[in-house]
Amino acid sequence: MKNIAILGSTGSIGRNTLEVIAQNRGRFRVVAMSAGSNIDLFEQQIKTFSPNLAVMADTAAAYALSKRFSKRVGGIEILSGAEGVNRVAGHADADFVISAIAGSAGLLPTITAIRAGKTVGIANKEALVMAGDIIMKEAKKNKVNIIPVDSEHSAVSQCIEGRNSAEIRRIILTASGGPFINKTKNALKNIKAKDALRHPNWSMGRKITIDSATLMNKGLEVIEACRLFDLPPEKVDVLIHPQSIIHSLVEFKDRSCLAQLSMPDMRGPIAYALSYPERLAEPIPGLELEKIGSLTFRKPDHDMFPCLSYAYEAMKTGGTAPAVLNAANEIAVYAFLENKIGFNDIPAVIRKTVESHTALLAPDLNDVLEADRWAREKAEHYVKELGI
Ligand code: MG
């Protein structure tokens, strides 16, 4: 039996993780989980999976939740706030922690899990973008295995598995291209949040869906790949593949390429991470290539989707630059979702914020958090300046 702690159980990755666990009750037990503020869903999850510890980041929500469980004798402990979330991350009974809190809020709990010696399934790409160097160093120091849950990075590690990483010539991350890949740059101006939230292949949270539409998701994934696989950005390429069947490829030095294929379904990479090094039986529907017919590929248009280039530049600059890129993006995306700025203002806010930052090289965790705080304030300023 593997004991699992889930950071972010009510989000898209958290819900899919619980689905995989529900199908494999004999293998996995949920010992602790955290959520933000979605009380109703969290209550239901607690009743279904009976963890020892349940934490809501939102204090008022945690209080309301504890009232609902007040009549239960013994059993579950309910806590709140960042300290509570860290208790989930470092839970004494957990063997495996899934890090699925969206955005920069997931960084510190991820580090807590690593320092507690847990195997970490990492779905929180922002943590790797902000502080990937620090995370990977901590993982090495604590002899902790980090297993990517992001579908592309899961694909890459499945292709590399058992092979010497020095033999990698490059990796190729595939991108669906999002809902606007066939539009013109001019048409992007009038895109509304509700249009951008309709992703053609993947059902995901709101922030990542907007990131897919701007291609910033792929930009963040380039940085994530550099961190996870210790590669320079020159060795990470991006290819638009609208069918989302090949989740990524690895080209080895002999020019042989390996790819990982499956139906686009997050339960696939989640199941792989949870059960590694074994594989679970049928967590997702099978692939019927004869029905899909053809797989197509093309290069991304950097002019139309400048966020991708900004991510490469931030990775080349290094230090605090990726953290600033990530923070500016988060502010810009939420401003767009609240109709405060237009779609093409998202890259504009990011560019202005990144340009006004002088990157600190070899930052420690505090430097990263300070750069994150600084970038949010700057980006808010540019949101107001560009605001509709
Ligand atoms: Mg991905």
- pLDDT over 70 (residue 231): yes
Q: Please check the confidence at residue 194 and state whether its pLDDT lies above 80.
A: yes
Distance 114 CA to ligand 1 centre (A): 22
**Centre of ligand 1 from the C-alpha of residue 134, in Å:** 21
The predicted-structure confidence for 250-265, as pLDDT tens digits, reads as follows 999 999 999 999 999 9
- Report the C-alpha gap between 204 and 149 in whole angstroms: 13
For residue 12, tell me if it sits in a domain.
Answer: yes
Residue scoring higher pLDDT (197 or 354): 354
Supply the CATH number for residue 132's domain: 3.40.50.720
pLDDT-based confidence at residue 74 (cuts at 50, 70, 90):
low
Specify the pLDDT at position 184.
85
> Distance, CA 362 to ligand 1 centroid (Å)?
27
Instruction: Return residues with CB closer than 5 A to ligand 1 (ion).
Output: 150-152
Average pLDDT, the chain: 94
Which residues pair with residue 178 across a beta bridge? none
**The total number of structural domains that make up the chain:** 1
Q: In which element (H, E) is residue 80 found?
A: strand 77-80
Residue 209 CA to ligand 1 center (angstroms) comes to 10
User: How high is the pLDDT of residue 191?
Assistant: 87
3-state secondary structure of 250: strand
Residue 36 lies in a domain: yes
Expressed in angstroms and rounded, the spacing between residue 323 Cα and the centre of ligand 1 is 18
DSSP for 34-76, written as a single string: EESS-HHHHHHHHHHH--SEEEESSHHHHHHHHHHTTTS-SS-
% pLDDT > 90, the chain? 86
For residue 284, is it within any domain?
no
Q: Which domain holds residue 40?
A: 2-149
Q: Does the residue 11 lie in any domain?
A: yes
Tens-place pLDDT, residues 136-190: 999 999 999 999 999 999 999 999 998 888 899 999 999 998 888 888 888 888 8
**CA–centroid distance, residue 174 to ligand 1 (Å):** 9
Write down the pLDDT at residue 260. Answer: 98
- Does the structure show a pLDDT above 80 at 199? no
**pTM (2 d.p.):** 0.94
Q: Is the pLDDT of residue 114 over 60?
A: yes
Is residue 311 domain-resident? no
Structural contact between residues 319 and 363, judged by C-beta atoms closer than 8 angstroms: yes
Burial (CB count <10 Å: 0-12, 13-18, 19+), residue 276: middle
Distance from Cα 71 to the centre of ligand 1, integer Å: 42
| 286 CA distance to ligand 1 middle (Å) | 20
Residue 342: which pLDDT band, with cuts at 50, 70 and 90? Answer: very high
Report how far residue 123's alpha carbon sits from residue 13's, in angstroms, rounded to the nearest whole number: 7
What's the CA-to-centroid distance between 273 and ligand 1, angstroms?
14
Question: Is residue 155 in some structural domain?
Answer: no
Is residue 242 assigned to a domain?
no
**pLDDT in the model for residue 83:** 96
Average pLDDT over residues 83-103: 96
Residue 247 Cα to ligand 1 midpoint, Å, equals 8
Question: pLDDT > 70: what percent of the chain?
Answer: 98
The model's pLDDT over 13-34, given as tens digits with 9 standing for 90+, comes to 999 999 999 999 999 999 999 9
Which residues have CB under 8 Å from 240's CB, separation 6+? 174, 175, 176, 177, 181, 297, 298, 299, 300
